[in-house]
Every structure is written in structure tokens, then in C-alpha cells.
């Protein structure tokens, strides 16, 4: 992605159920992004090996949210897990 955000995802037999993790790094890391900027926020999807495709819905919705500058600003300003959770539930 861009603007300091990456969306890594993994699908593996050791994953029992789908999950989404949001990680804010203390120090940005180099990452291959569209804007060639370091990444400080990871939105990661963990997907079981045999999945019904539901994760594609979450991945698509997340990508849509990240097209809105206001959402990105709120995500970057969030300080607690509950604030981040609320942003994704809205």
C-alpha cells in the first residue's frame, strides 16, 4: 500500500481461524510500497488453509477504507486498541 501502511497476509494450515492484526511499529521499516515510503502501520490478515473466501471480503473492505484520507488520519492518531477496533467497525 502507501502512506506508511502495509497489508501483509498469510494463509496456512497452522492457522485455525481467520484473524486481523493491526500493528503500529515504533520505528518505520523499509517495505515495497506504491509510494516507496517506510511503513509504520501493518494491517495483517491470517487465514486458515481451507477458507470459504470470507477473508477476501475483509481485505476488500480494508482496502476501501484506506482510500479515505480521513480514515488514515484517524488510524494513525488512534492510541488504543479500542480506538482502532471502533474505526474498523464504523
Q: What is the CATH number of the domain that holds 25?
A: 3.40.930.10
Q: What is the number of structural domains in the chain? A: 1
pLDDT tens-place string over residues 37-81 = 999 999 999 999 888 887 888 888 999 999 999 999 999 999 999
Quick check: 32 pLDDT over 80?
yes
The pLDDT score that the predictor gives to residue 55 is: 80
Catalytic residue (one of 9, 55, 68, 79): 9
Q: Which of 18, 25, 38, 64 minimizes the C-alpha distance to 10?
A: 18
The pLDDT score that the predictor gives to residue 72 is: 96
Q: Please confirm, yes or no, whether 79 is among the known catalytic residues.
A: no
Cβ atoms of 21 and 44 within 8 Å: the answer is yes
Q: Which domain holds residue 34?
A: 5-89
Amino acid at each position: 500500500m502507501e502512506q506508511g501502511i502495509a497489508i501483509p497476509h498469510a494463509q496456512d494450515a497452522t492457522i485455525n481461524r481467520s484473524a486481523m492484526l493491526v500493528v503500529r511499529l515504533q520505528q518505520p521499516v523499509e517495505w515495497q510500497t506504491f509510494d516507496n515510503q517506510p511503513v509504520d502501520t501493518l494491517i495483517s490478515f491470517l487465514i486458515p488453509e481451507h477458507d470459504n473466501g470470507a477473508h477476501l471480503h475483509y481485505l476488500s473492505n480494508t482496502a476501501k477504507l484506506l482510500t479515505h484520507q480521513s480514515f488514515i488520519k484517524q488510524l494513525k492518531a488512534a492510541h488504543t486498541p479500542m480506538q482502532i477496533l471502533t474505526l474498523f467497525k464504523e
